[in-house]
Amino acid sequence: MSEKLSKRISEFTDISLAFQANPVTGDITTLKNDRAIRNALKNCVMIAAKEKAFNPTYGSVIGNSLFEMDDAFSLGEIEIEVTRTIEYNEPRVQVISVKADRAGDSQTSSKITMNRSKDKTYYSNTIAVLVTYEIVGYQEVFNTEFILTPSSTL
């Protein structure tokens, strides 16, 4: 008699910070699994360090790097800070890679800006970030992308 082994995959649930009501139930909208993780990654990078009450180590100092010179070194610093922030603040994921480019300048940013409105204009010091990661307990690789501007992180 053979016994079938199965691994229980964790389910992740967070509330949406948009605080919009679910049209069916009227409750606050919830995000599940990969959408919840994607939202958490974006939040931990966008929130400045010491901004979260009672948890001063949560967040990043990425906003300081957005005013640096426009060179490969500053993009490398941003990639390191995004990686450090995610690894330190989000134990549900394993970062595979982080790629940062000036918005509108390269392949990474063109992939990101193609998903955005064609009417949107990106100004100087706007960084396109592409994060590739695995959720612990899942076999799938996920990507999330976001645009960093000096006003979005300060």
Q: How far apart are CA 103 and CA 93, in angstroms?
A: 26
Where do the structural domains in the chain lie, given as residue ranges?
Answer: 13-148
Average pLDDT, the chain: 81
Q: How far apart are CA 46 and CA 103, in angstroms?
A: 17
Q: How far apart are CA 147 and CA 66, in angstroms?
A: 11
* Beta bridge pairs of residue 95: 133
The conformation of residue 21, written as its DSSP 8-state character, comes to: B
In this structure, what token pair is assigned to residue 33?
A: 């699994």
At 22, the amino acid letter reads N
74 pLDDT tier (thresholds 50, 70, 90) = confident
pLDDT tens-digit profile of 123-137? 556 889 999 999 988
What pLDDT does 2 receive? 64
What pLDDT does 8 receive? 55
Whose CA is closest to 49, among 83, 85, 95? 85
More confident site: 97 or 114: 97
pLDDT tens-digit profile of 42-71? 999 999 988 888 888 899 998 887 777 778
pLDDT at 5 over 90: no
Whose CA is closest to 142, among 107, 80, 86, 95? 95
Q: How far apart are CA 122 and CA 2, in angstroms?
A: 59
Please determine, looking at this structure, whether the domain spanning 13-148 carries the CATH number 3.10.450.40: yes
